[in-house]
Amino acid sequence: NNSTKSRAGYKKKFDSLGLDIPAEAIFSSSFAAAAYLELTKFKESGKKVYVIGEVGIGEELDLIDVPWFGGPDDKGKEPDMGPGGKLEVDEDVGAVIVGFDRNINYYKIQYAQLCINENEGCEFIATNCDAVTHLTDAQEWAGNGSMVGAIKGCTGQEPTVVGKPSPLMVDYLEEKLSLDKSRICMVGDRLDTDVLFGTDNGLRTLLVLSGVTTEEKLLSPENTITPDYYADSINDFFMDAKVGAEKAA
C-alpha cells in the first residue's frame, strides 16, 4: 500500500537486498492508481491528474503517458490568503490522486478540494486509507488515511480506493496474468488491509506478526478478521506457519 515508490523504486530496493525481482512482478498502490486510470481509459479524456503524494505515483503515471502535476513539486507552496486572495486551478484536471505525502500542506489540500468541487466530473482517487504507518521503529505515524480524510472532509466525497483492501489489484492480476485466485496466498502484517484484502477477494491469507499486528490483537475476541494462517515473521514462511487464528484461539 506504500505509494511513495514506483515499481522501479521497489526494484532498486529488492536489488539492494540481493533479490532479482522484475519490476513487472511488483504491484504497489502507486501502480494500482495508474492501472485504474488505464482500465478506465482516462488518457482518452485528455485530462490531467493532480497528485498529492511522493515520486512513486508520478513515475507510474509517466509510464502510461498520463499528464500530471503537483506531488513533490508543490512542497513548501503556500496559497495567497491575503485580502482577495484565491488559488486558481487548472480546469483540465480530471482526477486527484491522494497518496502518502510527508510534505502535505494547506496548498495541496486547497488545490485538491477546488479540483474535486469545481471541475465537473473530477475523480477523487486514494491509493489507500491506512490509519497509521511505520516510518521509524520508535512509534506509529499518521498514515495516508489522514491525508485522504482531509480531502474527504472538505469535499464531502468518498474516494475510489485502489490499494488494499480494494479488489482492483487482484482483479487486474487475474485479468492480465490469467492467475487462479484460489492459488494465491496474501501475506501481510495488517488485519484491516492485507488480511481483509485476501479474505474479501477469495485468497488464502498469512498474517505475519513482525509488523503492526500483535498476537494479542489477532486472538482478541474483539477482532473479526481471521487469517488462514499466521507466523511470527516472514522468516517462518517456509517453516511452520501456525494454523488459522480461529483454530489456534
pLDDT at 211: 84
d(CA 60, CA 3): 10
Is there a contact between 124 and 96 (Cβ–Cβ < 8 Å)?
Answer: yes
* Domain extent for 238: 182-248
Answer whether the bond into residue 221 is a cis peptide, omega within 30°: no
How many other CB atoms are found less than 10 A from the CB of residue 93? 24
**Domain end call among 110, 129, 161:** 161
* Residues 85 and 130 placed together within one structural domain of the fold: yes
* Residues 128 and 232 placed together within one structural domain of the fold: no
pLDDT at 246: 45
Q: Report if residue 174 sits inside a domain.
A: no
Q: Report if residue 187 sits inside a domain.
A: yes
d(CA 158, CA 186): 26
* Residues 50 and 105 placed together within one structural domain of the fold: yes
* Residues 42 and 107 placed together within one structural domain of the fold: yes
* Residues 94 and 30 placed together within one structural domain of the fold: yes
Q: Report if residue 169 sits inside a domain.
A: no
* Residues 203 and 114 placed together within one structural domain of the fold: no
Q: What is the CA radius of gyration of the chain?
A: 19
Q: Report if residue 175 sits inside a domain.
A: no
* Residues 129 and 201 placed together within one structural domain of the fold: no
Is 19 buried (19+), middle (13-18) or exposed (0-12) by CB count in 10 A?
exposed
Per the annotation, binding residues for Mg(2+) are 189
- Among 64, 39, 62, smallest CA distance to 171 is for 39
* Residues 29 and 137 placed together within one structural domain of the fold: yes
d(CA 229, CA 215): 12
pLDDT at 140: 86
Backbone angle region of 90, left / alpha / beta, with phi > 0 → left and psi within -120 to 50 → alpha: beta
- Among 122, 102, 125, smallest CA distance to 35 is for 125
* Residues 191 and 157 placed together within one structural domain of the fold: no
pLDDT at 78: 96
The CA-atom distances, in angstroms, between 196 and each of 25, 29, 95, 100 are 22, 16, 27, 20
CA 22 to chain centre: 20
Q: Report if residue 87 sits inside a domain.
A: yes
* Residues 115 and 233 placed together within one structural domain of the fold: no
Write the DSSP assignment of 1-38 as a string of letters: ---SS-HHHHHHHHHHTT----GGG---HHHHHHHHHH
**Domain end call among 161, 194, 215:** 161
Residue 139 belongs to a domain with what CATH number?
3.40.50.1000
| Domain count of the fold of the chain | 2
pLDDT at 133: 87
Q: Report if residue 236 sits inside a domain.
A: yes
**Domain end call among 107, 126, 161:** 161
- Among 214, 173, 220, smallest CA distance to 197 is for 173
* Residues 220 and 150 placed together within one structural domain of the fold: no
* Residues 156 and 198 placed together within one structural domain of the fold: no
Q: Report if residue 170 sits inside a domain.
A: no
Per the annotation, binding residues are 164, 189
Is there a contact between 143 and 182 (Cβ–Cβ < 8 Å)?
Answer: no
- The pLDDT tens digits of the residues spanning 11-52 come to 999 999 999 999 888 889 999 999 999 999 999 999 999 999
- Among 128, 125, 127, smallest CA distance to 116 is for 125
Q: Report if residue 19 sits inside a domain.
A: yes
Per the annotation, binding residues for substrate are 164
What average pLDDT values come out for the chain (249 residues) when binned by 10 residues? 91 92 90 94 97 97 97 96 96 98 97 98 96 87 96 97 88 82 89 92 93 91 94 76 49
